[in-house]
Amino acid sequence: MSNKKTASIFVSGPIPAQKIADDIQKHSAKTNIGAHSIFLGQIRADEINNTKVIAIEYTAYEEMVMEKMAEIREAFFAKYALTCMHIYHSLGRVAVGEICLFVFTSSAHRRDAIDACNEMVETIKKELPIWGKEICTDESTVWKQNN
Amino acid sequence: MEVQVIFFGSITDITLDNSVVIDGCVDINSLVQTLIERYPALANKKYFVAVNQKMVHENSKLKMGDTVALMPPFSGG
């Protein structure tokens, strides 16, 4: 499996918008690609108990994420006709309005890139041992829950 | 026989530690019992258990040097 990579998905702090632009640019050399699909997760200023979320602090079981991600990656390349797939998730503190998740799938035709991107976002939230702690204006904290 | 137990997310609010070494537990059930004696609030907590980074859904034997993770529901993304 030449597409199987075990590189870490983690980025310390927010994912810079410039990285997203640079990653798109890098793919111009891969001329068999006809479609990209991108999902970006952004920290939302939720209101909790009359206070507002100002940041989320992420922690993870990094070794297990890497192992799990290798399996997931293999399953996705078997299921979808993808040219490539890149995933980045923040660790540490990410402020409201900043990007914490970047999923980038590419394929010859749009359907595979779109479907794989959507399924990957759901898979990340459900299957990867990552936790977010919401930090509020009054410095109180609430452990984030995924729906 | 020692195993390392590591804690994540909201579990660390109970244990106030990221990891402990526990001696003398032959399987996961006895380890969980020992942990609840040490951290009573764990009894009411929902979590998954992984041994050496693999999820386990039922009781299984532990061996020297295993790493057992207690993980509350995930909330990445």
Q: Tell me how far CA of residue A75 lies from CA of A71, A142, A143, A145, in angstroms.
A: 6, 34, 30, 26
Residue A130: its chain B contacts at CB < 8 A?
74-77
ipTM score assigned to the predicted complex: 0.95
CA distance A96 to chain B (A): 14
Buried b (16+ CB within 10 A) or exposed e, A22-33: ebeeeeeeeeeb
Residue A49 confidence (pLDDT):
83
d(CA B48, CA B72): 6
**B8·A145 Cβ contact <8 A:** no
Q: Are A142 and A132 in contact (CB under 8 A)?
A: no
Average pLDDT over residues A52-63: 98
pLDDT of residue A147: 80
Interchain contact, A125 vs B76, CB within 8 Å: yes
- Phi then psi for B24, rounded to 5 degrees? 85, 20
Which of A41, A133, A143 is closest, CB to CB, to B77?
A41
For A51, the enclosing helix (H) or strand (E) is strand A51-60
Question: B49: distance to nearest CA of chain A, Å?
Answer: 11
Q: Is residue A48 predicted with pLDDT exceeding 90?
A: no
Report the length, in residues, of chain B: 77
User: What domains appear along chain A, each with residue ranges and CATH number?
Assistant: 10-143 (3.90.1170.40)
**pLDDT value at residue A69:** 97
Region A83-99 average pLDDT: 98
Sorting pLDDT into bands at 50, 70 and 90, what band is A54? very high
B52 in contact with A, Cβ within 8 Å: no
Beta bridge partners of B14: none
A59–B71 CB contact, under 8 Å: no
Residue spans per domain, chain B: 2-71
Statement: residue A5 has pLDDT above 60: no
Round to whole Å and give the CA distance between A44 and B44. Answer: 30
Predicted local distance difference test score (pLDDT) of residue A7 = 79
Mean pLDDT for chain B overall = 97
Instruction: Reply yes or no on whether the pLDDT at B6 is more than 50.
Output: yes
Enumerate the residues of chain A whose CB falls inside 8 A of the CB of residue B53.
Answer: 61, 63-64, 67
Contact assessment for residue A147 and residue B73, using Cβ atoms and an 8 Å cutoff? no
Q: What pLDDT does A6 receive?
A: 64
Q: Beta-carbon neighbour count of residue B55 at 10 Å?
A: 14
Q: What is the pLDDT of residue A2?
A: 42
Q: Tell me: pLDDT of A1 over 50.
A: no
pLDDT digits (tens, 9 = 90+) for B20-32: 999 999 999 999 9
Average pLDDT, integer, range A103-110? 98
> Whole-angstrom Cα distance, residue A127 to residue A89?
14
3-state secondary structure of A113: helix
One-letter amino acid identity for B1?
M
Which residue bears the tokens 């410039």? A18
Q: Which of A67, A120, A143, A146 to mutate to test the interface with B (most CBs of B within 10 A)?
A: A143
**Residues A104-110: what's their mean pLDDT?**
98
Quick one: fold of B2-71? Ubiquitin-like (UB roll) (3.10.20)
Place of tokens 């929902």: B46
Measured from the Cβ of residue A132, the count of other Cβ atoms closer than 10 Å reads 25
* Statement: residue A4 has pLDDT above 60: no
Distance from the Cα of A111 to chain B's closest Cα (Å) equals 23
Bridge-based pairing state of the strands A82-95 and B2-7: unpaired
